[in-house]
Amino acid sequence: MTAKPAATPQSSVELPVEAVQARRFEKARSAQATAVLEDYVELIDDLLASGGRRADRYRPPAGRHHATAIKTITRLKREGLATSKLYRGVFLTPEGHGLADRVRARHRLVVDLLRAVGVPEQCAELDAEGIEHHVSDVALDAFALFLKRQLKRQDP
């Protein structure tokens, strides 16, 4: 004799209209595709700025395969964010450097918000890596305004 699962109460939450839900899913998929691109731009910019390894000789970021790195660099070049020179590696265009700067600023803003609401620093850094690619400019503006108000409250 098997036990019957307990009946779950039906939710009173109203589901969004199908078109609205489809837009939400599309935004999430688009953000995920952009996240990989942004991570690579930031990584290449960091490598070049630090004078470290050449950008054509780096290991792909953790969890990424070499084929993904090659495809992503090809996409960066196609979108005008990077160039490459034979035997010299990958370089960012001014647009690529600008994107790297914006990605860093967005990451910092998300980390600062998470820290302001009590998230421990290491956790905030890790969580920001995902959140930063999915948050809208409207939300980022609200985060910045919130942090500005918090700072004013702290200063007498």
pLDDT at 18 (0 to 100): 76
Q: Which CATH number goes with the domain that contains 148?
A: 1.10.10.10
Range of the domain at 142: 18-154
Please tell me the distance from the alpha carbon of residue 28 to that of residue 131, in angstroms, as a whole number: 11
The answer to whether residue 103 is domain-embedded is yes
84-96: pLDDT as tens digits? 888 778 899 999 9
What average pLDDT is seen over the chain?
A: 82
Residue 9 lies in a domain: no
Question: How far apart (Å, rounded) are the C-alpha atoms in residues 80 and 94?
Answer: 9
How many domains are contained in the chain? 1
Closest CA to 73 of 105, 85, 62, 63: 85
Looking at the domain assignment, is residue 119 inside a domain? yes
Residue 6 in any domain: the answer is: no
Residue 9: is its pLDDT beyond 60? no
Between CA 61 and CA 67 the distance in angstroms is: 12
Give yes or no for a contact between 76 and 37, defined as CB atoms under 8 angstroms apart.
Answer: yes
> Do 40 and 96 meet the contact criterion of CB atoms below 8 Å apart?
no
pLDDT in tens, 66-86: 777 888 889 999 999 999 888
pLDDT digits (tens, 9 = 90+) for 12-49: 677 777 777 777 667 667 667 788 889 889 988 988 88
Q: Does residue 7 lie in a domain region?
A: no
Q: Is residue 2 classed as helix, strand or coil in its secondary structure?
A: coil
Instruction: Note whether residue 131 is domain-resident.
Output: yes
The residues, ordered by sequence, that sit 6+ positions from 56 with a Cβ below 8 Å of its Cβ are 84, 88, 89, 90
DSSP 7-39: PPPPP-PPPPPHHHHHHHHHHHHHHHHHHHHHH
